[in-house]
Amino acid sequence: LGPVGRNVGAGQTGGWGYYLEDGEGYSLAPRVNADVQMQPVNAVGAAQLRELLEAHLEATGSERAAQILDNWDEYLPKFRHVYPLSESEAPEVRGVLESVEESAEESTVSA
């Protein structure tokens, strides 16, 4: 829920993460390792992310998690979904990616 150093995802062989790009001039892209993919969070990912934040808030009382959840519409576009290239075809990742692709197509059609 805060800034990260360089080489995000280096050595990541499975799973995925959600990273927050928050802060003036802060960008995750130059910090991401070439062995991982970075995408905007789609509706499927947003539901997963929200559940994770709610569990984190409940377990820790995190003020940051509460702030994000209280301002969900503002913060959601600042999150990125990061996963290893080797996971691109995993069913759970594929479902998230297909949803991102469908959202992009709908945006193009409606524009």
Average pLDDT value for residue range 4-29: 77
Q: How confident is the model at residue 102 (pLDDT cuts 50, 70, 90)?
A: low
Sign, CA torsion 35/41/44/49: positive
pLDDT tens profile 41-76: 988 899 999 999 999 999 999 999 999 999 999 999
Report the predicted TM-score, pTM, of the whole model to 2 decimal places: 0.71
